[in-house]
Amino acid sequence: MRLYSNEIVFRGHPDKVCDQISDALLDAYLKEDINSRCGIEVMGGKGKIFITGEVTSKGNVDIEKIVNRVLKDVGYKNKYEIINNLGKQSEDIAMGTNDEIGGAGDQGMMFGYACNDTEELLPMAMVILQKLSMWYDEERKKCNYLLPDGKAQITGYYDDNMNLQRIKTFTVSYQNDELHREITDKLIKDKCIEICNDYNIEIENFLINPTGKFLIGGFEGDAGLTGRKIVVDTYHSFAKVGGGAFSGKDPSKVDRSGAYKAREIAKDYLKKYNLRWCSVQLSYAIGIKEPLAIYIDSDKGNLNVEENLYNECASKRIIKDLNLYYICYEDKAKFGHFIN
């Protein structure tokens, strides 16, 4: 047996709020102009929300309205000064990524992963935490004692094939009014047990708010930044992580679209070759249509790359095949980009 840990942050965590603002703004620009080029970064903290990055779009977006709507949705009640520092996409980048050329919007490497642990084809401990995070977000809307910020972590016992056997410690740090802890602690413990029972996983110990108190949270307790939770956004460290974050980036940015495609390839190969796990790496050069390389690894060793994959992984082809101009990116920023 070996011990391994993974983590998730709740939707109201400051970093996740910044991710959601970045993607809500992206959604708004794409809705008005699908050819929008966006790389939107957000930082929040101590009464201010700073929005920077690049946008080239025919869309006219009410930034302040969207930011305030996201803050309300995640449960933040304070007022914030919103500072708009957006600029335009560099023409040097645009030369290689316009519709005629259709080259990748950046260089770098992206990873996709799938395993046969769960019906979602994701690691079991990852799915458990995603379900807890989604439940918490719904529960805090109904329970005035629960507040938006929080995170959870599983430290589990694993066998030699990295199958979760049981949980040594389930850690949950959650923001609350600190007046009803007996009620809210029990609520959270009961839900953790309920979710784990669905997978026949026993929990040995809980750590609930280990410092003893979590009243001050959100942008009052911590700063937030777009893209700071890339491990939570992907595979909770059960798989390798690429070099770039997702949120705020339009589909021409292969940091995002390449990672989404790599996940689809990993799922396809997992089923086709009856694998326990599959990991896919794509790599790109800015302005070049097809990937420089595709590498596929698995529990059965390295696998051959099918001939058509290079064409399928061209930037414009990914956008078309995965319908990436017409999905809701804000939803993906809430609980992790891969929940199925």
> Which of these is catalytic: 7, 10, 11, 16?
16
List CB contacts of 163: < 8 A, sequence separation 6 or more. Answer: 117, 124
Q: Does the annotation mark 58 as catalytic? A: no
Tokens encoding 48 = 């201010």
Could you give phi then psi for residue 339, rounded to 5 degrees?
-115, 10
Which among 106, 233, 255, 290 is annotated as catalytic? 255
Q: Which of 37, 140, 229, 261 is catalytic?
A: 229
CB 49 within 8 A of CB 67: yes
Residues whose CB falls within 8 Å of the CB of residue 238, separated by 6 or more in sequence, listed in order? 6, 113, 115, 123, 125, 126, 162
**Which candidate in 131, 249, 334, 337 is catalytic?**
249
Residue 46 known to be catalytic: no
Active site residue 229: yes
Interatomic CA distance for residues 10 and 173, integer angstroms: 10
* 10 included as an active-site residue: no
Backbone angles phi, psi at 327, to 5 degrees: -110, 165
> Catalytic: 253?
yes
51, 139, 186, 334 from 153: Cα distances, Å: 30, 19, 17, 17
Q: What is the DSSP letter of 20?
A: H
Residues near 126 by beta carbon (within 8 Å), at least 6 away in sequence: 6, 8, 235, 236, 238, 336
Active site residue 54: yes
Q: Which of 252, 3, 263, 7 is nearest to 110 (CA)?
A: 263
Active site residue 272: no
Catalytic site includes residue 228: yes
Q: Is 222 a catalytic residue?
A: yes
Does residue 281 contact residue 294 with C-beta atoms inside 8 Å? yes
The b-or-e profile of 67-81 (16+ CB within 10 A means b, else e) is bbebbebbbbeeebe
Distance, in Å, from the CA atom of 39 to the CA atom of 89, rounded to the nearest integer, reads 8
Q: State the catalytic residue, choosing from 214, 219, 246, 335.
A: 214
Catalytic residue among 220, 222, 264, 299: 222
Kindly name the residue from 33, 50, 223, 268 that is annotated as catalytic. 223
List 11, 37, 131, 228, catalytic entry:
228
- Annotated catalytic residue: which of 13, 140, 289, 334? 13
Active site includes 337? no
Residue 16 bears catalytic tag:
yes
Q: Report the C-alpha gap between 56 and 244 in whole angstroms.
A: 20
Q: Which of 15, 27, 117, 137 is catalytic?
A: 15
Annotation says 250 is catalytic: no
Catalytically active residues are 13, 15-16, 41, 54, 151, 214, 222-223, 228-229, 249, 253, 255
